Each structure stands twice: as structure tokens, then as C-alpha cells.
Amino acid sequence: MIAAVALGATACDNESGLNTSSPAASAPALPGVSATTTTKTKPAAAAVDYTRLLLQAGDISATGDAFVDQPPTPNPDSRPGAEVLFVNEEQTKAVSILLVALDNPAAGPSALAEAQASLQKAVTPGPPQPSIVGTGGTVVAGNSPDGKKSVSVLLFTEGSTLARIEFDGLPGQPAAADFVTNVGQKQAIALRVGLPTP
């Protein structure tokens, strides 16, 4: 049986960022009365429910290998985002997805670098490999530090969200590269379609 792996990704708090429009024209000043200026602000954007952007079990189930999802966790570690764990029926494979909101897309490269640096806690990695998934996609594969399972981790950003997808399996049975890419592309599409436009 595969134990749930603690997910480590560094993230920043999501800021609503109130925008102000140009001040309205000032009324002519009357003697002894100062002119006033009004400023309009847009209402704060509604918080994004990242749990609805997570993949479902049917999205990752492969031929002959059905997965069951655990209830998703909103805002893990008090960070805007969501995470979910999927385990196959034989309990020999697990897929965990962590989504973390970033301040803006420009924060992606530094968030990816920090997430990659933290991978040593979950995997004794081989060299990072580029991935076609999302922006800055990177795959790291190896074994857990205790050697009890194979671990592959896909990292990428989509818009202002960092995604970390971990694939755990039996020792010597890493997740197939095409399966990792397929799951990652589905999650990237879900984010691209579901995230509000700036």
C-alpha cells in the first residue's frame, strides 16, 4: 500500500489587487469651498475554488488501471489552491495533484525553481527532464528516499498557478512517460479553461 506523500511546493499568497480608474472630473470650485475628487474602484475578484479545477478519477484512469479519488483539500497549508490524492484499486499506484495560486504568471519561474529544489524530500532524483506540459514543464523521476517506491514528479505553471503532480508506484515500476504527460496535459487544460482571465 502506498502512503500519501507530503507535497512540498512553495507558493505566494494570492492578492486581489484593487484597480482604480481615472479620477472623475472635478466640479468648479466655489468661493470658500474646496473642489472634491471621486475615485471608483472595481470590486475585489471572487476567490477561485481550485478544487473544481482538479482532475477527477476518470480523467487519469488508464486501461486496466482504475483510480479512486480521496476528497479534495481546499487551500492546503492555508495557501490558495487545492490538492487531491488518487489511488488505484490494487493500492499499488498513487497520483497526487497539488495546485498553488501565484501572485501572477511572472512568479512562475521562481516558484518552479523553489518547487524543484524541494523535491529531494520526496524523491532521489535523476536529472530533470523538460516536459511539453504547461509553461516551464519539468519531470523528475527516481525513487523515494527510503527506496520503497518509485516516484515521478511533474512540475509546470499554467497562468498564475503552479501545478505539482506526483506519480508513485512499486519499486522498479515508475509511471510511464506518456501517462505522466497525458495526465499533466489534462490538468493544464483544466486550468487554462477554468481560471478567470486577468
Please report whether residue 23 resides in a domain.
no
pLDDT for 46 equals 61
pLDDT for 122 equals 82
pLDDT for 43 equals 44
Please report whether residue 8 resides in a domain.
no
106, 112 Cβ separation under 8 angstroms: no
Please report whether residue 55 resides in a domain.
no
Which CATH number belongs to the domain containing residue 125 in this structure? Answer: 3.40.1000.70
Please report whether residue 46 resides in a domain.
no
Which long-range contacts does 169-176 make (Cβ < 8 Å, 24+ apart)?
A: 169/2, 169/92, 169/93, 169/94, 170/92, 170/93, 171/143, 171/147, 174/141, 174/150, 175/93, 175/141, 175/150
Please report whether residue 27 resides in a domain.
no
Please state the pTM of the whole predicted model.
0.76
The DSSP result for 152-193, as a single string, is EEEEEEETTEEEEEEEEESTT-PPPHHHHHHHHHHHHHHHHH
Please report whether residue 48 resides in a domain.
no
Domain count, the chain: 1
Please report whether residue 159 resides in a domain.
yes
Q: How far apart are CA 53 and CA 84, in angstroms?
A: 11
In single-letter form, the type of residue at position 22 comes to S
In single-letter form, the type of residue at position 5 comes to V
79, 99 Cβ separation under 8 angstroms: no
Please report whether residue 33 resides in a domain.
no
* Residuewise pLDDT in 10s, the chain (198 residues): 444 433 343 333 333 333 333 333 333 343 444 444 444 544 445 678 999 999 999 999 876 789 999 999 999 999 999 999 999 999 999 999 999 999 999 999 999 999 998 888 888 877 889 999 999 999 999 999 999 999 999 999 999 999 999 999 999 999 999 999 999 999 999 999 998 876
Determine the structural domain holding residue 81 and report its residue range: 66-194
